[in-house]
Structure 1
Amino acid sequence: MNPISNLENHFSFESVDNLEKRKEALNDAIDTVQAYVKLDHSVAVLSDLADNKSYIFADNFGSFFEMNISGYVIIDSIWEEDIYQRIHPDDLFQRHLLELEFFNFLKNLPPEERLNYNTKCNIRARNSRKEYQYVSHRSFYLKNSSEGGLWLAVCVYNYLFEKLGTSNGIDGKIVNTKTGESFYVSTYINCINLLTSREKEILVLISQGIISKEIAAKLNISINTVNRHRQNIREKLNVTNSIEAVRTAEALHLL
């Protein structure tokens, strides 16, 4: 699994409903997304964060990804890896940062307001000719649980119909679809407090190539404490190793 697209650690703390209640809401969501994709001619991925499954729907835009889907297909993951492999690595990393900021932005809102927002960005993806082409990517949460936990997530891919601007990167922004308000995500203010001062201190030392044993001696703490901090850092930044942790923290301006 591509580590930069891994938000599972955050999702695991979300409160979800019992299976019977989820089943009815999930069936409604499947019908909604299927109808939308048919209208929009797009590709959509509906991810069930409680059951770690995704439902992939494709209309005309499916030919871009060389998809041949009738109705929808189910995968045992909340990450559409076959699509991710087609996205330019730099853009996939930036999309990860945008989604991390979006998640933390939503957690600061009342549950009833969260479903009014989505992300929008332009990413490079390989088409059927194996050439990179800019496509539109949007993401949003379709359902909260009855306890307010984020539960059903949707990603929508389609052709980019608007003209590209002059900004660099993926041109990521968060949009309130109810009011029309939007703002570009160039600073990650909702991620600013992700790491404690001690975790930042340890991550700086890691970036300098200092191993856990030496960090423990330098900070006068046990190696078990250092390793626990390292694990917490990886979980908070949704990465699987220290190199990615340093890269993500630097991109989020945490160091």
Structure 2
Amino acid sequence: MVRNNHFAESRKTLDNLLRSENGADSCVPLWDIMVNMRFWARVENVLIVVSDMVEGKSHIIAGGFARNLDIGDYQQENSIWESKILSLMSQEEQEEKYIAELRFFHYLRHLPKSKRADYYLMSKLRFRFADGGIHDVLHRMYYIFDDNVEDLRYAICIYGPLPFDFKGKSFAVNSVRGIKEELTASGNDSILSRRERQILAMIDTGMKSAEIAGQLNISIHTVSRHRQEIIGKLQVKNTHEACRLAKSMDLF
């Protein structure tokens, strides 16, 4: 049950973050994206999912790799989550995927806007194929922003075979400079500050705001401000949900 709670919390938080970033318009029309992705899928034989953050829909383009997955005539879903593809992973694997995407989102948030389009997420996933075997899959995810790089308009996920193994699980890759940075708990400062993680850990033990303020020698007002910032950054309803999500992400 605890694992299920963490899983749901991770996906819910990511959904809130992605959908809250969207704008109503974009200079990049969906049809233009789809033309390019169909060509990409044909050239690389990959399975591509284009998620429209404004419309809340996903469009699936099946290259040759999709024949391994037995997903049938899967072309569209009224969600930003490609459920048939996600169902090919264990729940633990899905949660790791969501957490990697959360880390990548916050990683981009701390970059200059002019540099955000230089990066994509690269992850190693495990899928159950139609033959019943478990196989490694290479997952790449790209974000397409509006002209001002203010709002997220599309997320593009690309699935294909893993041609060679690599150490680590998920990386932020700079496609201009050819460098990568592993997304692990060591990057927690990009999500919550050290003080915010410290306060959240104390909340998790059951401490009240007055007790936290006394132990840290700060005002109750400062503790309350940190609580609200934590809730906002993690896109949750309360500190109880924040503690559950933070533990699943190894924030403390």
TM-score band (shorter)?
Answer: 0.7 to 0.9
Indicate the percent of aligned positions where both proteins have the same amino acid: 24
- Report whether the alignment pairs 1:250 with 2:247: yes
SS of equivalent to 1:115: helix
The structural deviation recorded for 1:92 is 2.1
Which residue of structure 1 aligns with residue 105 of structure 2? 103
Tell me, in whole angstroms, the C-alpha distance in 1 between the residues paired with 2:84 and 2:231: 24
The structural deviation recorded for 1:100 is 1.2
Which residue of structure 2 aligns with residue 38 of structure 1? 42
Which residue of structure 1 aligns with residue 51 of structure 2? 47
Tell me, in whole angstroms, the C-alpha distance in 2 between the residues paired with 1:233 and 1:109: 20
- Report whether the alignment pairs 1:146 with 2:153: no
Change in Cα spacing, 1:2 to 1:41, as seen in structure 2 (3 Å) is farther
Change in Cα spacing, 1:147 to 1:15, as seen in structure 2 (3 Å) is farther
Tell me, in whole angstroms, the C-alpha distance in 2 between the residues paired with 1:192 and 1:124: 27
The structural deviation recorded for 1:253 is 4.1
The structural deviation recorded for 1:136 is 0.9
Q: Which amino acid aligns with 2:70?
A: E
Tell me, yes or no, if the aligned pair for 1:48 and 1:153 is still in contact at 8 Å: yes
- Report whether the alignment pairs 1:113 with 2:115: yes
Tell me, in whole angstroms, the C-alpha distance in 2 between the residues paired with 1:5 and 1:188: 21
- What is the RMSD computed on CA atoms of the aligned residues? 3.4
Q: Deviations over 1:179-210 (max 9, x none)?
A: 1111222334265443685675355444x4x5
Q: Deviations over 1:69-127 (max 9, x none)?
A: 4xx72211111122112213333222222211211121222333212211111111111
Tell me, in whole angstroms, the C-alpha distance in 1 between the residues paired with 2:191 and 2:139: 27
Q: Which amino acid aligns with 1:75?
A: E
Structure with greater helix share of residues? 2
Tell me, in whole angstroms, the C-alpha distance in 1 between the residues paired with 2:79 and 2:140: 19
Change in Cα spacing, 1:130 to 1:147, as seen in structure 2 (3 Å) is same
Q: Could you tell me the TM-score, scaled by structure 1's length?
A: 0.75
Which residue of structure 2 aligns with residue 60 of structure 1? 64
Which residue of structure 1 aligns with residue 83 of structure 2? 81
Which residue of structure 1 aligns with residue 216 of structure 2? none
Which residue of structure 1 aligns with residue 10 of structure 2? 4
Q: Could you tell me the TM-score, scaled by structure 2's length?
A: 0.76
Structure 2 alignment gaps of length 5 or more? 1-6, 214-219
Count residues with an aligned counterpart.
Answer: 236
SS of equivalent to 1:189: helix
Tell me, yes or no, if the aligned pair for 1:144 and 1:152 is still in contact at 8 Å: yes
SS of equivalent to 1:28: helix
* 1:1-255 equivalences in 2 (<5 Å): 2-6=8-12, 7-14=14-21, 16-18=23-25, 21=26, 25-69=29-73, 73-141=75-143, 143-148=144-149, 149-162=151-164, 164-165=165-166, 167=167, 171-189=169-187, 191-194=189-192, 197=195, 201-202=199-200, 204-206=202-204, 208=205, 210=206, 215=208, 236-237=233-234, 245-246=242-243, 248-255=245-252
Q: Deviations over 1:134-171 (max 9, x none)?
A: 11111111x21123222211111111111x34x4xx62
